[in-house]
Structure 1
Amino acid sequence: MIYPIVAYGHPVLKTKAKDIDPEEVDVKQLVNDMFETMYNANGVGLAAPQVGKSLRLFVIDTDPIDDGDEPKVKKAFINPQIIEEAGEEWAMEEGCLSIPNIREDVFRQEHLKLQYFDEDFNEHVEEFDGFTARVIQHEYDHIEGILFTDHISALKKRLLKGKLTNISKGKVKADYKMAFPKLK
C-alpha cells in the first residue's frame, strides 16, 4: 500500500515518535508499505511520521545513489537509538519528501553507531559511515520531531518561509501523493 507523504506543517512531523510494541503494530506490513511508498516517491529514506504514523521506525535504501565505493544499505530500523556520532562534520545538500523542491546544505558527523531492531525484532548494534550515516541521521531526526530545515541558519529559514507556507497549503508540485495540513 502506498501512503501519501505528509507535508511540511503537519504536527506529526514535529512530534517525538513513540516506541513500537510488536504486539500492537503489524511491523512487517508497515515496513513493506513504507518501502513501497518510498520507492514510489523516488526517495532513499522514509520515516513513519512522514506517512502520518508517530512511530519510531524508518526505512532506507541507498542503492539509487551513486556515491563511489560505499556499500549499499537497505534496512528497516525499529526503535533505534543513536549510541554515538563521531568524526568531522561535513556539509551535503539534503532534501526531504515532506518538503518537496527545497534543498539546503546540512552539516552532519561522518560516523554513527546505532542500536535498533529489525522487522523480526532482532536487536542490532551497527556502525555506519559517510552517505549511509547521513541518511540514517536524517531519518532519525524525523522520529525525534526534527526536520532538515531545523539545521539551517535563521536567515535561510526566513528566506524559505514563503515556500514552506505554500507547501503546507498544498501549493507545491510533487510526483507523488501528499497529505497537506492546511489544504482547504
Structure 2
Amino acid sequence: MTVQKIIHDPLSLSQPAAKAAASDRQAAQDLLDTLLAHRESIDGLPPAAGLAANMIGVNKAIIAVNAGFLPIVMLNPTIVKRSGHYLAEEGCLSLPGERPADRYEEITVKYQDMDLEEHEQAFTGFVAETIQHEVDHCKGKLI
C-alpha cells in the first residue's frame, strides 16, 4: 500500500490533466491506496469521498471514488449524460472551507478501469456529486 501526500497548491491543481494510459496503473493504485487511507480522518484532514490524481501530484485523468462499500477507480472519466441540476456546497481535501458548485443528481460516466476496459455507468446522489467534483479536478477546475 502506497499512501501519497495530499497536494494543497492551487496552481498545480489548476492544470488540466493529461489522458491516462497503461503506464499510469501504478498512479491509479497509489490514488486508490490514498483514498482508502483517507476513509477516516488522518493528518488533520476530514474523511475523503473521492480523490483525483492531481491531488497526489500526478497530472493524469484518474479519479477514485467511494461508491458504497467498494471504491471505484476511473481512468479518463467523461460525463456523457446529466440531469437534475442543483447547487451544492462542497469541501475539498486540497482546499480549506466549502464553496458552491453546480451539480446534477443523475449522471452517466464513460471511463476505463485499471485494466483499460471501457465502461459506461450511471450514478446518482452523493456518489454522482463526488464524481463530478473529481472530474472537475481533472479539468483543472477548483470549487
**Normalised-by-shorter TM-score class:** 0.7 to 0.9
Structure with the largest fraction of strand: 2
Length, aligned pairs only: 134
Please, what TM-score do these two structures have when normalized by structure 1?
0.67
| 1:46-57 equivalences in 2 (<5 Å) | 46-57=51-62
1:99-122 Cα deviation digits (max 9, x unpaired): 14x123423111111110001111
- Aligned match for 1:80, one of 77, 82, 99: 77
CA 1:40 to 1:48, structure 2 compared with 1: closer, same or farther past 3 Å?
same
1:158 aligns to what? Answer: none
Distance between the aligned counterparts of 1:137 and 1:17, measured in 2?
A: 15
Please, what TM-score do these two structures have when normalized by structure 2?
0.85
1:11-63 Cα deviation digits (max 9, x unpaired): 321111011121x32x1x32332122123332110000111111000000144
Consecutive unaligned residues in structure 1, runs of 5 or more: 64-71, 149-184
After TM superposition, which residue ranges in structure 1, 4 or more long, deviate above 6 angstroms?
none
Q: Is the 8 A contact 1:57 1:77 kept in 2?
A: yes
Q: Tell me the C-alpha RMSD between the 2 structures.
A: 1.7
% same residue:
31
- Aligned match for 1:140, one of 126, 135, 142: 135
1:98 aligns to what? Answer: 94
Consecutive unaligned residues in structure 2, runs of 5 or more: 39-46
Highest Rg: 1 or 2?
Answer: 1
